[in-house]
Amino acid sequence: MDKDHLRFAFVGDVCLPFLKGTPAGVPEFNSWPTIRREIGEHDFLVGNLECCLVDERCSQKAREQPMATPVAAGSFLHEIGFTDLCLANNHSLDCGSGALTTTRESLAAHGIRGFGAGADLREAEEPVFAERNGCKIAFLGACDKSEYYASDGRAGIAPLEKLRLGERVRAAAAEADLVVTMLHADLEFSDVPGRWRQRLSRWLVEQGSHLVIQHHPHVLQGIEEYQGGVIAYSLGNFIFRLHGNKYQEHQAGVFDSMVLIVDVDMRGEKPVLAHRTIPLHIGSDHLPHHMTDRSREKASVRLQARSSLVAERNVHRKIWFRRCRLEAVSRISHLYYAYRRGDIASGNRTLHQLLTCREDRRWMLGLASLGYL
């Protein structure tokens, strides 16, 4: 690459619990060399690590079904070529704060920068800096799973709170030549981001973030350019156990994957960004694969259609309202049947989450405002 240019390759959710029990902790990723050749020479490979890396020090009873894999998986991530991984998500603490520590240690041991989570609030929120070709890049992460927020005396993830996040972006922009902000938020399996998330993403660009890259919906959502920045609302899954996963495998779009490539020209006063995508499909081995030319063309059309949904304000509002309504029906049904069958604990957990979780308050606001908010 020219010294005045940078190339970023962004991918979706990376979850490795299927590695547990394998002899070396590393599967055969035979499709990756071909994908990497299509990406071309690049400076950064960035994704969201949607699991924790554990050893004997970690409590694997923190959740009933933790998304965790042995620390040996760090070598797999290194062999792929990841340079940076966001840890601001709802599974970084599946096995407690000890697992967050081992995850960060394992990534660092393999030369991978982890960001968006830490031993306390300061550490979780501070940017991670990288330098390439004389340019300084800042990586920030945030997630709206409020029950896992870090605090002054507690390990956890960086909070997705607008004013705090805006301050972080402005501070990073004052110090770095390029700012990458990664968000993990919103409703799963939705064709569009929440209206609130589109407004937030555009506002973050206005505050100085050049790239706003997002995960959590597990399906691909639109990409848009805004005031010189690039916003990707969801990169879907990249490495994920889908076959045999009752929660995901029957949801439309979860097998669609991609690599988002962003080329940055640093010669002017401001970075100039250009992006393209490589459509992929997740196979029975839980890994992404190239598609036939015809399937690839169809995948590109689907992504363009989702990008156009985000661009059309009224269409976006209607789809978002419909998704909020479906979520409401699902939650009310869960409450009703939990209490009806006498599962008071399950019903109370759901009710507590609805009343306290920031993620749920946002879709409820979308429902109450008919999709405007």
Quote the pTM value: 0.95
Whether residue 143 is predicted with pLDDT greater than 80 in this model: the reply is yes
**Burial class of residue 364 in the structure, from the number of CB atoms within 10 Å of its CB (0-12 exposed, 13-18 middle, 19+ buried):** middle
User: Is pLDDT at 280 greater than 70 in this prediction?
Assistant: yes
Confidence of residue 203 (pLDDT cuts 50, 70, 90): very high
Q: What span, in angstroms and rounded, lies between the C-alpha atoms of 114 and 118?
A: 9
Average pLDDT over every residue of 167-181: 98
pLDDT tens digits, residue range 317-358? Answer: 999 999 999 999 999 999 999 999 999 999 998 888 888 888
Q: Rounded to whole angstroms, how far apart are CA atoms 187 and 363?
A: 8
Q: What would the mean pLDDT of 284-295 be, rounded to a whole number?
A: 94
**What pLDDT is recorded for position 23?**
45
pLDDT category of residue 47 using cuts at 50, 70 and 90: very high
Average pLDDT over residues 206-234: 98
Q: Where in the chain is the domain with CATH 3.60.21.10?
A: 5-311
The pLDDT of 94-98, averaged and rounded, is 91
pLDDT higher than 60, residue 24: no
Segment 308-318 shows an average pLDDT of 96
Mean pLDDT of 347-370: 90
- ∠237-182-265 over CA atoms, to 5°? 105
Residue 52: how many CA atoms within 13 Å on its side-chain side? Answer: 30
* Average pLDDT of every residue of the chain: 93
One CATH from 3.60.21.10, 3.40.30.10, 3.40.1110.10, 3.30.1490.20 for 5-311: 3.60.21.10
Kindly report, residue by residue over 239-279, the tens digit of the pLDDT: 999 988 999 999 999 999 999 999 999 999 999 999 999 99
